[in-house]
């Protein structure tokens, strides 16, 4: 199947290539192949989720996982989301991918329940195109229902740019999702063009401090000041904070000292397929 799709894509690409000899660069050819093959990826069952734990800094306890999608292509190997999500958004198939991710992540959480592993929460990344989609609330509701999950187990991650100048319709969608008992986190916080007005308009639960501010903790006083300010802002708004990209123990110590609630990063675990995770997870170092 995959081979056939790749073959067809290549054929199509080749014909086009002859036609646009001058215009079509190698990059464009690759892209055309990618695009055509990506269109069938969900149907061929080539998408996989990896899960990265989120840890409560104070107790070391596992508080949840973030689901991160990968495209497992027979020839290309494991393609990271940065290399196909933007393309999927552009060619209008992010809805299918997003729906698959949401269902698969909810199913996984239910599977862990059935196996007796108490995982409190699952975080799923949303694309801006999904927020614009009128069917999002129904999709989320059906994913929860199909997996038989109770309330407050699912968290959706949105980025600041998706919330900037939120149109009334998007705000209504987020409120509807929230009323299903789903939690909302702002991903990569601090990297968007920050009009902070959305923070008071939307029913948010946590801010994820972008890894670019976490990376140089201990080396860059400005980054430390930004991290402190984000934690203070979150606390005064009644939101939790999650530090992304925690790789070193001294970063975790700084974050704990400053009152950050949760951490996620290679220090604890890389994102892993479910079968590679071992429970129970314990991250206490003492």
214 exposed, middle or buried (CB, 10 Å; 0-12, 13-18, 19+)?
buried
Instruction: Rank residues 46 and 244 by Cβ distance to Mg ion and give the closer one.
Output: 244
Q: What is the dihedral of CA 33, 34, 36, 38, to 10 degrees?
A: 160
Q: What is the dihedral of CA 203, 207, 208, 212, to 10 degrees?
A: 130
Q: Interface with Mg ion includes 160 (CB under 5 A)?
A: no
Binding marks (x or -) toward Mg ion, 104..143, rule CB under 5 A?
A: ---------------------x------------------
The listed partner (Mg ion, ligand C2E, none) that binds 82, CB under 5 to 8 Å by sort, is ligand C2E
The listed partner (ligand C2E, Mg ion, none) that binds 154, CB under 5 to 8 Å by sort, is none
Instruction: Rank residues 188 and 240 by Cβ distance to Mg ion and give the closer one.
Output: 188
- Extract long-range pairs of 84-92: CB within 8 Å, 24+ residues apart: 84/34, 84/38, 84/41, 85/127, 87/31, 87/34, 87/35, 87/38, 88/38, 88/127, 89/127, 89/128, 89/129, 91/35, 91/38, 91/39, 92/129
Q: Read off the tokens for 4.
A: 């056939």
Which region among 1-9, 144-152, 157-165, 249-257 touches Mg ion (by CB under 5 A)?
A: 157-165
The listed partner (Mg ion, ligand C2E, none) that binds 223, CB under 5 to 8 Å by sort, is none
Instruction: Rank residues 68 and 234 by Cβ distance to ligand C2E and give the closer one.
Output: 68
C-alpha to C-alpha distances, 75 to 14, 45, 198, 283, nearest whole angstrom: 19, 14, 43, 36
What end-to-end distance do the CA atoms of the chain give, in Å? 51
| Bridge partners, residue 158, by sequence | 186
Instruction: Rank residues 35 and 244 by Cβ distance to ligand C2E and give the closer one.
Output: 244
Instruction: Rank residues 9 and 154 by Cβ distance to ligand C2E and give the closer one.
Output: 154
Instruction: Rank residues 46 and 66 by Cβ distance to Mg ion and give the closer one.
Output: 66
Spatial CA neighbour of 239 closest among 226, 252, 228, 230: 230
Q: Interface with Mg ion includes 188 (CB under 5 A)?
A: yes
Minimum gap (Å) between residue 18 Cβ and ligand C2E: 35
Interacting residue with Mg ion among 35, 155, 187, 240 (CB under 5 A): 187
Minimum gap (Å) between residue 244 Cβ and Mg ion: 5
Give contact residues for ligand C2E (rule: CB under 6 A). Answer: 52, 68-69, 80-82, 85, 98, 101, 125-127, 157, 187-188, 211, 244-247, 265-266, 271
Binding site for Mg ion (CB under 5 A): 125, 157, 187-188, 244
């Amino acid at each position: 199947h995959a081979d056939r799709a790749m073959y067809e894509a290549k054929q199509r690409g080749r014909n086009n290539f002859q036609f646009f000899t001058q215009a079509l660069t190698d990059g464009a050819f690759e892209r055309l192949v990618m695009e055509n093959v990506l269109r069938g990826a969900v149907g061929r069952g080539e998408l996989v989720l990896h899960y990265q734990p989120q840890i409560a800094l104070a107790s070391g306890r596992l508080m949840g996982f973030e689901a991160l999608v990968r495209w497992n292509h027979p020839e290309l190997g494991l393609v990271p989301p940065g290399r196909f999500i933007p393309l999927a958004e552009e060619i209008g198939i992010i809805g299918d991918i997003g729906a698959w991710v949401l269902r698969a992540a909810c199913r996984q959480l239910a599977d862990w329940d059935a196996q007796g592993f108490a995982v409190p929460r699952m975080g799923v990344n949303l694309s801006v195109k999904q927020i614009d989609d009128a069917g999002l609330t129904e999709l989320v509701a059906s994913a929860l229902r199909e997996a038989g999950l109770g309330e407050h187990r699912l968290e959706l991650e949105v980025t600041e740019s998706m919330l900037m100048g939120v149109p009334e319709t998007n705000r209504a969608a987020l409120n509807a999702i929230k009323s299903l008992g789903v939690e909302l986190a702002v991903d990569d916080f601090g990297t968007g063009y920050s009009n902070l007005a959305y923070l008071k308009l939307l029913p948010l639960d946590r801010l994820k401090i972008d890894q670019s501010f976490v990376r140089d903790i201990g080396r860059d006083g400005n980054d430390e000041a930004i991290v402190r300010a984000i934690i203070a802002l979150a606390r005064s708004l009644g939101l939790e904070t999650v530090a992304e990209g925690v790789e070193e123990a001294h970063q975790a110590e700084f974050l704990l000292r400053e009152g950050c609630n949760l951490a996620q990063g290679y220090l604890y675990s890389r994102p892993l397929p479910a079968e590679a995770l071992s429970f129970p997870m314990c991250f206490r170092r003492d």
